[in-house]
Amino acid sequence: MSLSFHESFPLECENIAKLLAVVVEKPSVSNVEIAELTGLGIGKNPRKGLVQPTIEYADCAGLITVEPRGRQINLTDVGRMIFEHDRQMKKPVTQWALHYHLSRVGGKAEAWAHFVHEFLPHRQKFERAEFEKSVEEKFSGRAKLRSIKPGLVLSSYTESRGLGLLRLLRESGREYAHVWPNIPIPPYIIGYILAEIWDAQHPTRIMIDLDKLSEPGHWGATIGLKDSDLAEQLNNLTHIGVIGQMREAPPFQVVKQWGDKLELLRQAYAEGA
């Protein structure tokens, strides 16, 4: 996927919710029809305007798959779960799920993955120009900075229309502050994120070293936790039976105990978060 898939448009959960409501009824819908049914803007070229970037955001966020032959848009299992439990996409659980899929290592939204896993863990405060420089160095030769628009990555975490409920980033003038989550994170949603990462990085393993969770691109960076907070979150997951822990002697191990990762997401919604 292009590094500039979003064009000049920010992440807006409300627009993605409108898209899901249309494609769940008519997967073969065209961009023009989506514009007519949702009110999302579109230009003379059906691939210009707000509709196509909204489709791309939903794809990057793991909510839909797009089949180019015959133009079929289908909700993924995650997309259906979110549509079932939060059609307006306003709940923190939904935004945590979107955050994981947007920022996952090897995913389609490469600028988001770079921000979450490579840039942010090393900074408590930074200015936009620092992130722009980092993006330019990371993707040099593939796309121009003005087309990647790093500011859209930042605004997705500071604005309420995006993922602002997560409170991972605070903007003050020209400066941004990396805010480690200061609100309780529902244990089932962090369990779901762990399960997704585990399936992607350790698909054949029942146990992994605890230290793996703190590595770049893994669970700790995804949630934005300091190393000192990981133990508490692991204990929460152990308490609800998502994982087990083996701490008798190093290297300490985390043991997979969940079955269906989507059931963890369902439980997160059942908690009422």
In a domain, 3, yes or no: no
4 falls within a domain? no
Tokens at 41, concatenated: 């803007």
> Do both 104 and 81 map to the same domain?
no
Q: 154, 178, 202 — which closes off a domain?
A: 178
63-69 average pLDDT score: 90
| Residue range of the domain that includes 18 | 13-89
Q: Are residues 49 and 115 in the same domain?
A: no
5 falls within a domain: no
Q: Please report which residue ranges of 139-213 form alpha helices under DSSP H.
A: 145-148, 150-158, 187-201
Q: What's the half-sphere exposure (Cβ side, CA atoms, 13 Å) at 249?
A: 0
Listed residues 73, 89, 105: the one ending a domain: 89
Q: Tens digits of per-residue pLDDT, 13-37?
A: 999 999 999 999 999 999 999 999 9
pLDDT of residue 142: 87
Residue with tokens 């997705």: 156
pLDDT of residue 60: 96
How do strand 253-256 and strand 243-246 relate by DSSP bridges?
A: antiparallel
Q: What is the pLDDT of residues 32-50, one digit of tens each?
A: 999 999 999 887 666 678 9
Looking at the structure of the chain, the number of domains it has is 3
